[in-house]
Every structure is written in structure tokens, then in C-alpha cells.
Structure 1
């Protein structure tokens, strides 16, 4: 994937979302940057579960809840107007209804309109079922609607496009002039309630240099009518930073309309890559209907070599009619974000994203990488993440966090020791009724960042994984995959259990943590819902960015035991650590003093492996093995 720009989205799509990157409306093109539009200020991070290939070749990335996490085309089909960066898709519209999702790339519109493509084939949940067809309305009750935008001077213009959204069916009608004399466009619509949004170009010498994005959240069509969309009502969106560098920048403006209390709705986002000489303005024209709530957000990113500047704003009631937001140095937090590598030639990219609507592009590069990230520190939550694009195609994230003005911190990704983690109430082993399940993230990096597979293919993180459950000394069940992705139905009666979960990775995936095994023993019965006693052992040697330690030196390795057992006293645990210098063929018990062990590193090119045995005062045990925890140089 060298040189391919990668679109990354971390939020769960729960809306009909039109995603458009700014380009001259009069050119009748829309280079779209994939984005996810959830309620402003309430993004929901979800794990990518699978991919679906559309009839036109694009791959839709779905999260574990079935939401759209992005749309990818490896070949790329657009151009970033600011820097010539290759984009990965040409734009898409998404419709979600009754648990089904339909994703239609803009490139497929012509084929759908002339009948050569079946819109139902773009339903990624229930192929063949077309969600875009109107439902429950008499098509004979129609009216002529004239869409009539005007420019900032109040003059008629043919340089615009508009979308009309049916508030009942969520069907979207595309409205664009077909020639220079089409300053208004007539369309036939069923009588009903609608929302309308439009982009009107700002022109200089006949060329588009900016635009005004207008939203009319409610238009009642009871008969023939004209929808006036005046760009003169718009005010500029102006997000700036103190000492802002003259560098590559992008801004995303988004809105979403939701029925009160609902988690599904529809919305749109506009991405404006680069510095538009004419600027971008916005306006809300009228109030939404009582059947909908309107949320909006805006996000700006400036990339200046190894420095990044980020600011975002969210509005829980209404859309922006302009916004001025200046960020001084004293308003920002500085985060040093870096990522190591596990293989020679590893590639990947870093991302910083706000909790509000966003659309973020980043180009992968050789690892290791580092960036100084400055974020506006206010009520907006920020998430820092890393994604690898070859080898172990894993992604690591901090989760959403609130920064403080003046804060300085460091986030290091993709550096070992990679192994299990049990550091929150959501980690560990659990019993729910007669179901045993768990979440121990066998490949969390050295900082404890949990990993997931953004490709949705699972095996990209490892070559093989298996979990086996033993009950009263007998093998009870085996499932492919680590414990995070499997569960077991067990009898209600009390029994002694042994659960063994493991992953393996060969040299094409990773040079470290090539095998990770966690073996737990515990007693469980029905009525004991909640956390099952379980532990994880974390190691924190000082490693270089390529996950190596100096050959032939004695190094101290901090050792920490994490536990999910309620009320467990770490001081009461019996902990034994052993070290192997031959890939696990032989082991030497190594004493733990003051939470540390001392390891005599082997010659260059060797590896160090760890095995820990933990027993608590109730007899519950963990045996955890990490083969090739780090290598020597």
C-alpha cells in the first residue's frame, strides 16, 4: 500500500449520510471524502468486523455493529485540490433503515439511473433489497418544486448543486443545473415534508474560489412552491491557530437530523481540503420540524511536516450560520505521538481525531514515525491512533480522552512488549448466565493500547488463533479465534474450568510476540454472573522503536500483574516469572525484586521470551507465555 492515501473513520454510522468534498458546484463533480456522521459530540467508536465488496469494486468496511466505518478503493479515484494527494473513493451516500444498510458510491449513480445497476445490490446487509424506494406514500400526490439558489450578491447563478431529503422516507433527490442558463431547476416531488441543503459557489472571474453551504432543515410542500436558498444569508466559517503555518489543511463541516431520542437519522458533511481563497460560509435557513433535532460540528486540521494542529467545535442545537474560532498556544495541549515497527519495511500512519463528526485522510509511510500534535483543549474529546498497512495490519487507539490547556504527554504505539491486558472493568473473563466470554486483547502493545483489525479480516493480526475450554479435566469445546471473539455455553452446575486461548504469528506478520498463550483456571457456576478471576502480566523493558534491546547487556524489566478479580489483593498473589533465550525450548526461573526482573540479553539477532505463573489466594491461576517478546540488536 505504499503511497496510497488511507481514509480512516472511527465512528459508527447510524444515519443516512451524504459525504462531499468541496469542488466547484458548477463543475457538477463531487470528490467525496468518506466520513461518518453521528450525533455531534457523541461519536461511538466500534471495532471493524468485515468488508463487503460492492458491484462497482469499492470495499465497504463495516464495524461489529454493522455500521459503515469507511469505503475504500485501492486504486484511488480523486485528487486533493490542495496537494495532489490521491484519494481512495469518489464519494458515497449511505441509507440505514430497519437494521439494513445500503451504500451507493457516486460512481454508481448513472448505472442505477439507466437501469444497468440494481440499487438493491448495494445493500451490504441484505443484498437485493433496495432501501431507497419510497415507502407508504401515494406517488400521484405530487407538486412542482422550484429550487432557486442565489449567490452572495443576491443574483441568480447556475453554479450550485442541491439535495432534497424526504423527511418521511429519507429518499434523497439530487438537483443540479445542466447548463449555464439553469439558474433554477424544477423537480416533481410527492406532497410532504422535506429538508434541503445546497452548495453555492463563490466565483471570481468565472472560477469557483469558495462556496456557501446552506441548510433548510424543514420545507413543507403542500403544492407547487419555490425553495429560495440565498447564499447572502451565509457567514464565514473561520477556524485559525496562533502562528498558523502556511501548510496543507482541511476542514470538515457536518450536520445531522435525528428524531428525538432516536439513534438513527440522516445528515451530510462537507470537506474542504486546502486553503480556499474565497472561503467557505454556512447558514441555517429556518428551523427544523418538531419531528427532528439538528446537530452540527466543524473540524479543522493543519499538517506542517511533523507538526499537526487540530481544532473542533460541536453544536447540539442547530446548524452554523458562520463560526469564528481562534486557538492560541495557551489553548492547546501538545501530544507527542509515535509508532514503532515489528518488521523491516513496515508501513503505517498516525491519526488524531475529534469525538465529533470527522473525515480524516493520512498517507502511510515507512515506520517508525512520530508527530507533534497540538489540539484545542476544551470540551471536545480527542482520540489518537495508529494503523499498520502491512505486516500485522493492526490498529491501536487511546480511546477518547479530554486534554487540558498546556498539557504535554506522549503516546507510543506499536512498541512491545505485546501481550494480554486487563486494565479496565471491561477487560477479563466473564460469566453471563451460562455463557463464558472474555476480553483480554492478547496483542495489546507495550503502552496497553488494545489492537483491532481495521481490514475486518481478523487473520491480518495473526496467522492462527484458537481457544479451548476444559471442564472438570475434560476438553469441553474448542473454537477458532482468541477469547475476545468467541464464547462458550456451559452447564449451570459448578465445575472447575481451564481456558486456554492463543495466537501465533509468522515472520511475515511480526518479528515479536510470535506466540502468545494465556491459560486460566477457575471454578464457576450459574448465579455467579460477572467477572471471573483472571489476570494478565505486563512487561515494560526499554525498547527501541524496532522492538529491540542491546545485545549482551543486562537489562531490568518492570513486571506488573493486572487482575479482574473483584477484591483481589495483588500482595496476596504468588507470581513466578521465567525467561527463555531459545524461543521457549528451555526456561530459567528469574526472581522478581521490587516489581522487576533482570535479563541477560543474548547476542544480536536473538530473542527473549517470558512465561509467568500467577496463583491467587483462592487457587485461581494464570500461566501466560509470550514467545519472542523482544529481539536484540
Structure 2
């Protein structure tokens, strides 16, 4: 790379082989908040269209003025001017820089206005913030961002307006108290970058996301919760919380839905275990509660078919140990797990490993199948020590990937974070069908309960989508079984041994 020096100014020139393209001199002057030339800046010029579409240069000169030659075309310029930490910084964005002649641009910190986004609780401490800008032209999008750790950020638009709707800019800021985190933000779309931003929501303007963490037997300590906007580029914030326990986020609905990631504490020697809840919607004045690592653990089909066939390959993906909220763990705690497939009563194969996950190659002809998957957890007393699901269905060769009609049943009682319920009381256990039999494609499932680890079972009626269980004496495991047949004749038998315990 060659360098051009103009007085005290140094800039990077394009490679020699690019000299054939028509180029122009771009000179950038930088002025601080007092109007003086300053070398305390970082400027980036990013190509969007034309011969320089793939160019990204950071010209700099200690005098405050720098010149670079670039091919003709559309560019985005963003310049970050910084002084004393206490004074914060200025970020100036020119989303439309059409370089079709020798051009001089002046980046002037005096044009900026404050980003004033703060929570209603004045005792909250600022954690971090970030502003992002995306500029789209001719089908190409370019991106720039700035982080701030002080909250003293000022921003401004520079230059002519771009095309309507071509500039998308967002801001996230996080504040914390001893008990909660404020997640504030704003997104703007238009033809210009932001010049200043003011958002001071009242408590009633914010939504609440409350996260509850359970403590499975053998685990304890502290969990970690990450919160981040679901859409667009963004940064997030994390909170540590004791388990069992609860932590709270107050969030700005105008920033859209939010993604929550929960890192559960694990027993010594177990791998890190992560749960996720994507695109959690919030409304001003409303509370959304998410419970992670809670019983009753069991199969779930959220966001998946469970079993699919592609040609002569049958793939199984039914998480057997999703938590009580239906969240699928990244590293479920289990001792042994196996999945066995039968075709016309004969064993096709058995796979060991991750609970509810397997693949089999089967003959092409249409046939009757039975699929059984089991996970055993010896050290998980009170949180499903054994989970088994068995399905029957018919299947033949497919031209592409097609779902196989399987179902699961979710049991959702209100029990403690330690997986227990009060002995001697009546407990209402909601029953939900997921998968092929959902949505009226089956009559009410048959549900049975066992108080002796699954040795004997007693049928309990399903009424208004739930069963009522009379809890036995303290220290007893309560097991649950569901059986159903969908309208096409496919069946499910699902058993949760020690779904919860009494105390």
C-alpha cells in the first residue's frame, strides 16, 4: 500500500492495480466542541456502490485534516471524536457521500446533540450503551456502530439526506439497580442519521420480564441471564442471580421483542447448560414471567416436527427433558439414553446418546413402525428420574424431507422451584397436546398417575384441559402417564417417573 503525505496528514491510497478506476480526493476536516482542529478521532469511509463498493478505509492525520483518493461512487462516512472521558464522545454519521468530484467534508463536534436515554429510577447506574446504523443503497447494506461505557454520547447527521427509508439507526442502553436491570432502546428509520435522541420513559411505559430460576437437586449457586433485542444489530446485558430465585428486567416495548438466555447452575462435572426463549413480546405495564430449569421435565415439540423422513432416512429430534416451560436444555442432565425403532415388529436398530435424538436407515416400502425413546436420570430425584415416549405410525419412502406424525403431552402444574408440591393437597395439572394430535386431531388424552415409581397406575379424568392429583404423603414421587390416538390412528404412550415429589 502506498502512502500520500500532505503536510502533517497521512492517508492510505488504493493499490496500484486499482488506479485505472476514476478516483477523486476526499478531504476530511475534524473540529472539536470548541471549533478547533483535532487529531483525536477515528473516521471510517465505507464503500456502498460503484468501483469502491468493497473499500473500507480509516484515514487519519494528527493535524485534524486528512485526504484519501477513492474511486467514484456512493460511500458512508462515520467519525468518532473523543476528548476527556468525562466529556464523552461525539459520533457523526454521513449516510450519503456521493464521491463524483474532489470533495471536502467537515466533521464538526459542535453539530452534535446528546443521546439522553435514561430510566425512571434515578438510583440506577449506567452499565453500557451502543448505537448502530445501517445504510442501504442499491441493494447493498453497510453497517457501523459505537459503544459507550459512560452514557455521555452525542450524535449528529452530516451531509445530504439519503433515500427515504434507507437509514436505520438503533440505540440500546442498560442501567442497573441492586434488584433489576433497565433495558432501554429506540429504533428509527428514515433518510437521515440521528441528531440527538431523548427517551425518558415513565415506569408505566415499560414492560417487565421476570425470570425465575429453579434449583434442581444436586445443583445450586448462581445462574446467569442474558437479555438482548431480537431484531437488528444490538448488544445485551447480563445479570447473575441466586437459585432458586428471581430477577427482573424493565424493557422498552418500542425496541421490539427480546431474546432471553438462561445459563443454569450445574452439578460438579456437568457441562454448562443453556436455555433460550426467543422473541419474547412485551407490552407497557404488563409482566411476562419466564421460568427456567423448573419441573415438570418432559418431551416438547416447540418449533420442530420431532420425527422426519427423507427418502429412506428417518431422523428423530424430540427433546425428552425440556423444562416445565418447554425450554430445551443445551446439555440435559441424564445418565443413560436410548432410542429404538421397530418396523413391523422387528428391531431396525437402537441408538444411544443424546435423549430423543437418533437417525435410522429403513427399507423403502410403506410399513408400520414403533419408536421408543428413553432417558434415565439416577441422581435427579423429583425431577423426572425416567422419561419414556413410545409412538406408532406408518411411513414409506418420501421424495424429500417430510414430517412423521408424532405427538407429545406436556404437564404443567404449579410446583415449587425445587420440583416439589405440598403433601396431602390437591394439585391441578394442566395437560397440553403438542404435535400431530394437537388442535382437535385427537380426543382428550388418557392420563394416569402412580405413587410407587410406575409399578401401578390409576386413571384420572381429564376435565377442562387438566387433571386433579391428590398428593400422597411427604417424600413420595408422583409419576404421570399419557396415552392418546390421533385421528389418523397414530399413537403415543408417554411416561414421566417422579415427575415431581411431595414435601
> Same fold judged by TM-score > 0.5?
yes
* CA RMSD, Structure 1 to Structure 2 (Å): 3.8
Which fold has the larger relative contact order, with Cα–Cα distance below 8 Å and residues 6 or more apart in sequence? 1
Matches within 5 A, 1:89-488: 138=18, 145-167=26-48, 168=52, 170-175=54-59, 181-187=62-68, 193-201=74-82, 203=83, 209-221=87-99, 225-258=103-136, 265-276=141-152, 279-288=153-162, 293-318=166-191, 319-342=193-216, 343-356=218-231, 357-378=233-254, 380-388=256-264, 390-391=266-267, 393-422=272-301, 426-431=304-309, 436-437=314-315, 440-448=318-326, 450-453=327-330, 459=331, 466-477=338-349
Question: Do the aligned partners of 2:229 and 2:236 also contact (CA within 8 Å) in 1?
Answer: no
**Contact residue 132 and residue 169 of structure 2 kept, 8 A:** yes
> Contact 2:376–2:386 (CA<8 Å) still a contact in 1?
yes
> Contact conserved, 1:347 with 1:390, CA < 8 A, in 2?
no
Task: Give the equivalent residue in structure 1 for 2:496.
Answer: 626
Q: Which residue of 2 aligns with 1:78?
A: none
Q: List per-residue Cα deviations over 1:251-284 (Å, max 9, x = no partner).
A: 221112346667xx442322223443xx432435
* Deviation string, structure 1 residues 293-345 (Cα, Å, up to 9, x no partner): 43221122221122232332222334322222231233223343222122432
SS in structure 2 at match of 1:362: strand
What per-residue deviation string (whole Å, max 9, x for no partner) do you get for residues 158-184 of structure 1?
22112232335645334455xxx5323
Aligned to 1:577: 448
Deviation at 1:559, TM superposition (A): 4.6
Report the Cα offset of residue 560 of structure 1. Answer: 0.9
1:339 & 1:576 partners in 2: Cα distance? 28
8 A contact 1:250–1:274 mirrored in 2:
yes
Per-residue displacement from partner, 1:127-177 (whole Å, max 9, x unpaired)?
A: xxxxxxx99972675666444322234321122112232335645334455
User: Which runs of no fewer than 5 residues in structure 2 stay unpaired?
Assistant: 1-13
Query: 1:197: Cα distance to partner?
Result: 1.5
**Displacement after TM superposition at 1:370 (Å):** 1.4
Q: State the alpha-carbon separation in 2 of the partners of residues 418 and 285 from structure 1.
A: 58
Query: CA 1:272/1:535 → structure 2, altered by over 3 Å: closer, same or farther?
Result: same
On the 8 A contact 1:214/1:285 being kept in 2, the answer is no
Match of 2:373 in 1: 501
> What are structure 1's unaligned runs of at least 5 residues?
1-133, 454-458
TM-score, normalising length: structure 1: 0.65
SS at match of 1:219: strand
Q: Is the CA contact (8 Å cut-off) linking 2:322 and 2:328 kept in structure 1?
A: yes
Q: Aligned residue for 1:86?
A: none
Q: How does 1:450-599 map onto structure 2 within 5 Å?
A: 450-453=327-330, 459=331, 466-477=338-349, 490-504=362-376, 507=379, 512-526=383-397, 531-550=403-422, 553-556=424-427, 558-565=429-436, 569=440, 572-573=443-444, 575-579=446-450, 581-582=452-453, 586-593=454-461, 594=463, 595-598=466-469
Question: d(CA) in 2 for partners of 1:294 and 1:485?
Answer: 44
Aligned residues: 476
Query: Residue by residue, what CA displacement relative to the aligned partner does 1:392-436 show, whole Å, maximum 9, x if unpaired?
Result: 633333331433332234322221111112466x45444566654
Contact 1:603 1:632 survives alignment (8 Å): yes
Write the distance in 2 (CA, Å) between the matches of 1:412 and 1:541: 13
Cα separation, 2, equivalents of 1:135 and 1:414 = 56
Q: CA deviation at 1:565?
A: 2.1
Secondary structure of the residue aligned to 1:330 is helix
Give the structure with the larger strand fraction: 2
